[in-house]
Structure 1
């Protein structure tokens, strides 16, 4: 294990600090915005603008990297992210924040794609699984660790904005100072919606709805906590436990989906997520412990849906199409995360903070119903012919990039032009 991970240790350490900054900034802005009296619509648009910038970045960033190279592009993207977070702490204005968040989303897509392409270039067939697992773990722990940092300072003070900038600066060092050879150019991203729908209608519709639900909660969950009267520590615990619960639930849910029709698993998990959301909506508990328990149950179910939907789509696709199908679904998930916060903000304004869970419950009810309908129309793939289930960070309300899919052990080494690294490249990273 150590031999497999040592060549990419610098990249993984930089990734940790990058996602620490992402987690801290992603929670700090809605908390500070709520304190400043920003409307639910404006706070929802913060998530919309970031997700829109991220999706655009997946298409445009590869061209930037081709023009100026991986190291310069990586430094430039991270430099802009650092500049933006510091400006966010200085320019406390919702219009300025929306613009800065869109730029940050764009640059985050670029940095993530560069890191993932570097990791993929250094991975061998023997080490790919270990590197992929560590990468997912680091992204999850980074985001959660960053979120928990809000407990140690007042969100109305500039300290947390400065700390976030420091984290991004540190994230830049391991890759910038590395002597490792640059990887191959980033892959072009293509989104073929008709083909995606023909492969698996339930995965297409389901992942769009999962993106809507996860995007709404991921952006406005902290706003809900603030409007419901929770303090900073409780809000940090609430949003973090959602991610952890989802990460833990992916393993039993995945094993279950390998043994039975995945559509039944999608329907069951979606129904359970909808039930937890409806309990929050109807009862509207004010006790912090009750809220956190219900949100943890919701997060466990909701955040386990994405990788099951991806696995189901690949059950009907050729093995060499894994990156194409999964990459398209990932971008479709990103589109959903643009819609979710845009819808959630006005609903919360009209019906109160707990109405956030009306949006998520509605999305999950639609998934459950449509999954049952599709199970009556199309036969399930036999167990021995199914794609292998693998956990995915996007299931935990995180956006990945199509470049990172090449790291997945299920991806063919020859798909999309991938290849084994040369001996010279391996020595360069030793």
Structure 2
């Protein structure tokens, strides 16, 4: 771990500051939109716009990097992020905010692609898994820390917009001033969606549903909180709890997944998350129960993302794993775009509790589909399945491919060890 810190501290510090900025602006807009009397429909469109930009950025950023290089892409996109954040309080209009969210989603996607390719380049076969784990911890820590800033600021003023703008502006300084060389960039061509569906229907359906759940967490939690009458501090605590749950439960679920039929674990974890969402639906006014529900939803939905990738890998050859990840990420992104829109519609129909109803329907639906898929074909032999690699839905395709490399390297080591024992 110290070796990873020594070689990648500048990158990790820069990403920490970026994630604080991203986590703060996302929650802040949800609160400020309510203060500006934006409708639920307007806020759902604004929040969905981020994922439209993110999906587009994940497709176009690699071409930009190949054309002008990592340094220029990183600096340019981070500058755009900083500029858009500072413009939010001066252009208080739903259309302007939606356009700004598209730009920010696109830019953050490109920044993640750039930074994660640097991380992959600085890691080696021995520490790649540790580098990925540390990177994911930094991501979640930044989002959680951002909620603490929101809790002690005034969302009706300018300061909370200035802080993330400044953090983003200085985030790329340690990276660009680092002596680490810029890596060569080469992305794997994604597998066709039809081929991916034939290989793993559960992986495809699960990634689409989880895209919606994650988008609700990242985009609509603050909107729900304001409609539910929570204070700014309570909203900050709730959003932080979602990501703390995601971080805490990622590794226990991953450890269990390497010892049992992953479809069973997917079903159990999704059912548990759906039940937690139902508890939130009926917990109106009980902030402690609402917060626990949020933590459990985040703690189940985020590990499910990596779990579905690992399950899909169980049916793939090593050479196809990186290609399959591109299709899975695209499916997840489409689900994420639709998530805030559907949550906003439900909240306008049945009230704030629609936020939890949406997650409950998707998580329980995923559990039911996993149960049905268990009757359609036998499970892979547990001893023959690959290792679980942690990765969150907020990561770019490069981080997912990095997780796939960890997966493959672990599998190859296990195969070599088994061959030595047999001989």
Given that 2:257 and 2:307 are in contact with CA atoms closer than 8 Å, whether structure 1 keeps it comes out as: yes
**Cross-structure match for 1:410:** 406
**Cross-structure match for 2:348:** 349
**Cross-structure match for 1:392:** 391
User: SS where residue 179 of structure 1 aligns?
Assistant: coil
Of 292-301 and 12-21, the range deviating more from structure 2: 292-301
Pairwise CA distance, 1:411 = 5.1
The whole-number CA distance in structure 2 between the counterparts of 1:77 and 1:58 is 13
Superposed, 1:135-284 pairs within 5 Å as: 135-187=135-187, 190=190, 192-281=192-281, 283-284=282-283
Pairwise CA distance, 1:23 = 0.7
User: SS where residue 258 of structure 2 aligns?
Assistant: helix
**Cross-structure match for 2:413:** none
The whole-number CA distance in structure 1 between the counterparts of 2:288 and 2:4 is 42
Given the superposition, is the C-alpha separation of residues 317 and 183 from structure 1 closer, same or farther in structure 2, using an over 3 Å criterion?
Answer: same
User: SS where residue 303 of structure 1 aligns?
Assistant: helix
Q: Give me the TM-score of the superposition, normalised by structure 2.
A: 0.93
> What are the ranges of 5 or more consecutive residues in structure 1 without an aligned counterpart?
414-430
The whole-number CA distance in structure 1 between the counterparts of 2:242 and 2:385 is 29
Given that 1:59 and 1:188 are in contact with CA atoms closer than 8 Å, whether structure 2 keeps it comes out as: no
The whole-number CA distance in structure 2 between the counterparts of 1:213 and 1:143 is 17
User: SS where residue 146 of structure 1 aligns?
Assistant: helix
The whole-number CA distance in structure 2 between the counterparts of 1:106 and 1:27 is 18
**Cross-structure match for 1:296:** 295
> What are the ranges of 5 or more consecutive residues in structure 2 without an aligned counterpart?
410-423
Pairwise CA distance, 1:186 = 4.4
The whole-number CA distance in structure 1 between the counterparts of 2:366 and 2:304 is 10
User: SS where residue 392 of structure 1 aligns?
Assistant: coil
Given the superposition, is the C-alpha separation of residues 189 and 48 from structure 1 closer, same or farther in structure 2, using an over 3 Å criterion?
Answer: farther
Pairwise CA distance, 1:52 = 0.8
Q: Deviations over 1:124-156 (max 9, x none)?
A: 112212211111110110111112210111100
Given that 2:82 and 2:165 are in contact with CA atoms closer than 8 Å, whether structure 1 keeps it comes out as: yes
Given the superposition, is the C-alpha separation of residues 350 and 64 from structure 1 closer, same or farther in structure 2, using an over 3 Å criterion?
Answer: same
**Cross-structure match for 1:39:** 39
Given the superposition, is the C-alpha separation of residues 324 and 365 from structure 1 closer, same or farther in structure 2, using an over 3 Å criterion?
Answer: same
Instruction: Tell me whether 1:380 sits opposite 2:379 in the alignment.
Output: yes
**Cross-structure match for 2:359:** 360
Pairwise CA distance, 1:412 = 4.8
The whole-number CA distance in structure 2 between the counterparts of 1:213 and 1:380 is 26
The whole-number CA distance in structure 2 between the counterparts of 1:371 and 1:288 is 32
Q: CA RMSD in A?
A: 1.6
Pairwise CA distance, 1:334 = 1.4
**Cross-structure match for 2:28:** 28
Given the superposition, is the C-alpha separation of residues 285 and 111 from structure 1 closer, same or farther in structure 2, using an over 3 Å criterion?
Answer: same
Q: Deviations over 1:151-184 (max 9, x none)?
A: 1111001001000111001112012222332211
User: SS where residue 391 of structure 1 aligns?
Assistant: coil
The whole-number CA distance in structure 1 between the counterparts of 2:277 and 2:122 is 42
Of 58-67 and 345-354, the range deviating more from structure 2: 58-67
Of 1-10 and 53-62, the range deviating more from structure 2: 1-10
Given that 2:129 and 2:406 are in contact with CA atoms closer than 8 Å, whether structure 1 keeps it comes out as: no
User: SS where residue 393 of structure 1 aligns?
Assistant: coil
The whole-number CA distance in structure 2 between the counterparts of 1:279 and 1:120 is 40
Pairwise CA distance, 1:50 = 0.5
The whole-number CA distance in structure 1 between the counterparts of 2:346 and 2:331 is 23
**Cross-structure match for 1:102:** 102
**Cross-structure match for 1:56:** 56
The whole-number CA distance in structure 1 between the counterparts of 2:280 and 2:254 is 26
The whole-number CA distance in structure 2 between the counterparts of 1:2 and 1:263 is 36
The whole-number CA distance in structure 1 between the counterparts of 2:357 and 2:199 is 30
Pairwise CA distance, 1:47 = 2.1
Given the superposition, is the C-alpha separation of residues 385 and 241 from structure 1 closer, same or farther in structure 2, using an over 3 Å criterion?
Answer: same
**Cross-structure match for 1:11:** 11
The whole-number CA distance in structure 2 between the counterparts of 1:363 and 1:130 is 32
Given the superposition, is the C-alpha separation of residues 199 and 351 from structure 1 closer, same or farther in structure 2, using an over 3 Å criterion?
Answer: same
Pairwise CA distance, 1:256 = 2.4
User: SS where residue 376 of structure 1 aligns?
Assistant: coil
User: SS where residue 157 of structure 2 aligns?
Assistant: coil
**Cross-structure match for 1:417:** none
Pairwise CA distance, 1:287 = 2.4
Given the superposition, is the C-alpha separation of residues 16 and 321 from structure 1 closer, same or farther in structure 2, using an over 3 Å criterion?
Answer: same
Given that 2:137 and 2:247 are in contact with CA atoms closer than 8 Å, whether structure 1 keeps it comes out as: no
Pairwise CA distance, 1:327 = 2.9
The whole-number CA distance in structure 1 between the counterparts of 2:59 and 2:208 is 19
